[in-house]
Amino acid sequence: MAEETKNQETQEESNAPEVQEVAGMATDSQPEPVVQQQNPEQFLKEFNWHNYEEGIDPIDDQKLEEFEKLVEENFVDTLNDEVVTGTVINITDRDAIIDINAKSEGVISLNEFRYNPDLKEGDAVEVLIDVREDATGQLILSHRKARVIKAWERVNKAHDEGLIVNGFVKCRTKGGMIVDVFGIEAFLPGSQIDVKPIRDYDAYVGKTMEFKVVKINHEFKNVVVSHKALIEADIEEQKKEIIGQLEKGQVLEGTVKNITSYGVFVDLGGVDGLVHITDLSWSRINHPNEIVELDQKLNVVILDFDEAKTRIQLGLKQLSQHPWEALDNELKVGDKVKGKVVVIADYGAFIEVAEGVEGLIHVSEMSWSTHLRSAQDFVNVGDEVEAQILTLDREDRKMSLGIKQLTPDPWTDITSKYPVGSRHSGIVRNFTNFGVFVELEEGIDGLIYISDLSWTKKIKHPSEFTNVGDTLEVVVLELDVDGRKLSLGHKQIESNPWDKYEEEFAVGTTHTAEISEIVDKGATIDFNEDITAFVPQRHLEKEDGNKLKKGESAEFQIIEFNKEFKRVVASHAAVHREEEQKIVKQAAKKAAAQNSSNTTIGDVNADLQALKDKMEGK
């Protein structure tokens, strides 16, 4: 045991120099021989064999803290996609060398600084780490991306906080302008440039103006700005102040700001008013630009205003005398006037007989004709016409006129031109269910009742007989001068053919015809184009007991003829039954003759039986 201890001590002594060397390495080549020599056991016990095996020298904790502090103060974390500020330390022909306190300098192409041609060494620029280390170990930075990120941060802040930003108007685009705000292309709608309508967009190109960010679309990276929003608030205050001083009937001077189809907007010096098209002129106009033009200065009168909605209604024509007040006092009903057609409607036309004074010619006063027509059939807009005053109301400022009164009324001598029984030609103008209206001349219309169209045809509607525009020969049947009514007939042009048929087809006459149609309860036959007769079912029976069929020809006897109702009834059975009656009568006569010559009753009965068998087809 003692020997083992001795050997151990010997071994420790032999290893002491080596341990001393290791310890020296662990303390920056500053050995501590006192500790190692005086208490070698404690030294060996506390010795860090792991650091020795890994080749790591122990460092004092205080020195580590100082090192970490220096790193934190002087170097950036290149792992984070954050915008950092760097310094331009060198500019080459193509690139700018930027120091961001990383382990190496970064490189940015000069193309990204084209907006800043005055870039020089020592300038501070915002950059974003694009590539931490490329194939050559170079740090690649991006100034453009950093500008975009910072710009979006500024734009969002301006939008959220309602800040005013400066922007450079780059160019025009559809519906507005493109504005550079913090390097971002924003859209400025044409309606948001100014409170006044803009007629020359190009005047704003190249200008730097103040804007408010009114809308951001984060999905599509769109920004909308407004210059109008900056001045609207001030204008609203001005409007309230100006409107508070207005009074109805007050006359103000203004400038024509905008012209629309319905009126004119006038700038009264900070507040706009509308002159409706009907308040521009006493005369009827088609568009306001006939009276005013843009930027024209004119006096207007305040008709009404709404303080709550800051709306002002203005008038221009009210500053001049109403034309009706200047109308000739000698003008009266019955006088003739001339004027120009200004408006046409279906019911009539408006004629301007003096500036601002119009009269209505109703379509019924344009012609003596009684059938309905449109005013456009008589006059056109712009026509100069002469008319007669029918009514004149100066208080209500209304006037009605007539054109037809300038020509003679055709009904004046109607009895001499169209006496009862006279024949004339007319034009079919209109249909009704009960007849046809025929115009004999302008203003003279007559009615042909449906029953007076034809002697023979059964007409359900006039369109079956004639067409609108056709010419018809007519006969005057009745004339009512006071009621201005004329009754006409067309069938009366010819004599009634039924007068002739009454004799030709008298009851008992026999005619040959063909069954044209089998109908309910019988059949019909056509004797000619006018007469169609009806054959009852029981009168269709033939001599052999069978019935006549469609298309079969036979003899028929007229058993009824009514001229008034145009009704004819015929019978085939009556023909052969009449023949039978003749045979019976002849047989009876023969029997009587034989009886007078001592013919026995049995002989007569035998003859009658033979006749009966013949009639029954035996």
pLDDT (tens digit per residue) in 526-551: 888 778 889 998 888 887 878 888 88
pLDDT the model gives residue 26: 41
User: Quick one: pLDDT at residue 137?
Assistant: 64
Is the confidence at residue 492, as pLDDT, over 60? Answer: yes
Residue 25's pLDDT is what? 41
Q: What is the mean pLDDT of the chain?
A: 78
The predicted model gives 414-428 an average pLDDT of 86
Q: Average pLDDT for residues 174-198, to the nearest whole number?
A: 83
* Strand bridging mode 106-109 / 139-142: parallel
- Average confidence (pLDDT) over 209-237: 81
Tens of pLDDT, residue by residue over 504-527, are: 888 888 888 888 888 888 899 888
How far is Cα 604 from Cα 587, in angstroms, rounded to an integer? 9
Q: Which two tokens stand for residue 268?
A: 């009264």
pLDDT band at 7 (very low <50, low <70, confident <90, very high): very low
For residue 378, what pLDDT band results from cuts at 50, 70 and 90? confident
Closest CA to 324 of 287, 353, 300, 286: 353
Please check the confidence at residue 75 and state whether its pLDDT lies above 60.
no
Report the pLDDT averaged over residues 105-109: 82
Question: How far apart are alpha carbons 145 and 509 in whole angstroms?
Answer: 119
Give the pLDDT of residue 308: 65
Name the DSSP class of 335. Answer: -
86 within 8 A of 58, measured Cβ to Cβ: no
More confident residue, 618 or 193: 193
- State mean pLDDT over 162-174: 86
For residue 55, what pLDDT band results from cuts at 50, 70 and 90? low
Given this model, what pLDDT does residue 432 score? 87
Residue 362 has pLDDT above 70, yes or no: yes
Least confident of 96-100, 310-314, 546-550, 581-585: 581-585
- Judge contact between 578 and 557, C-beta under 8 A: yes
Using a 10 angstrom Cβ sphere, with 0-12 exposed, 13-18 middle and 19 or more buried, the burial of residue 198 is: middle
Q: Which two tokens stand for residue 281?
A: 């002129």
The pLDDT of residue 469: 87
- pLDDT band of 307, cuts 50, 70, 90: low
Question: Mean per-residue pLDDT for 477-489?
Answer: 85
Separation of alpha carbons 139 and 104, rounded Å: 7
Sign of CA dihedral 465, 470, 472, 477: positive
Concatenated DSSP letters of 204-261: GTT-EEEEEEEEEETTTTEEEEESHHHHHHHHHHHHHHHHTT--TT-EEEEEEEEE-S
Higher pLDDT, 548 or 80: 548
Q: Please give the helix or strand (H or E) that residue 313 lies within, else none.
A: strand 311-315
Q: Is 55 left (phi over 0), alpha (psi -120 to 50) or beta?
A: left
Distance (Å, rounded) from C-alpha 567 to C-alpha 563?
Answer: 7
As a whole number, mean pLDDT of residues 572-582 equals: 73
Structure tokens at 370: 């009684």
Instruction: Tell me which of 249 and 28 has the higher pLDDT.
Output: 249
Residue 30 to residue 8: CA distance in whole angstroms: 28
Q: Which long-range contacts (CB under 8 A, 24 or more apart) does 544-550 make?
A: 544/617, 548/515, 548/523, 548/572, 549/515, 549/518, 550/515, 550/516, 550/517, 550/518, 550/523
Mean pLDDT of 329-356: 86
Helix H or strand E segment including 157: helix 143-161
Q: What is the pLDDT of residue 497?
A: 72
Q: Given a cut of 80, is residue 428 above it in pLDDT?
A: yes
Structure-derived torsion over alpha carbons of residues 143, 144, 148, 150, reported in degrees to the nearest 10:
10
Residue 317 DSSP code: G
Question: Which of the four pLDDT bands, split at 50, 70 and 90, describes residue 140?
Answer: confident
pLDDT, tens digit, 9 for 90 and up, residues 386-413: 999 899 888 888 899 988 888 888 888 7
Tell the burial category of 526 from Cβ atoms under 10 Å away from its Cβ (0-12, 13-18, 19+).
Answer: middle
Give the pLDDT of residue 37: 60
Q: What is the pLDDT of residue 430?
A: 85
Residues 343-364 have a mean pLDDT of: 87
Using DSSP's 3-state secondary structure scheme, residue 36 falls into helix
Phi, psi angle pair for 398, to nearest 5°? -130, 145
Helices marked H in 444-572: 497-504
Q: What is the mean pLDDT of residues 302-320?
A: 81
Please give the full DSSP string across 18-34, using - where no structure is assigned.
HHHHHHHHHTTT---HH
Residue 22 has pLDDT above 50, yes or no: no
pLDDT above 90 coverage of the chain, percent = 3
Task: Report the half-sphere exposure of 613 (CA within 13 A, side-chain side).
Answer: 7
- What's the pLDDT band for 276 if we cut at 50, 70, 90? very high
337 token code pair = 């006037």
- pLDDT tens, 225-274? 888 887 776 677 777 777 777 778 888 888 898 899 999 998 887 778 89
Most trustworthy range by pLDDT among 1-5, 66-70, 285-289, 482-486: 285-289
Q: CB atoms < 10 A from the CB of 539, how many?
A: 22
Task: Give per-residue burial for 549-570: e unless 16+ CB within 10 Å, then b.
Answer: eeeeebebbbbebeeeebebbb
d(CA 259, CA 292): 8
The structure tokens listed for 434 are: 């009960």
pLDDT above 50: residue 17: no
More reliable by pLDDT, 491 or 595: 491
Query: Percent of the chain beyond pLDDT 70?
Result: 77
pLDDT-derived band at 352 (thresholds 50, 70, 90) equals confident
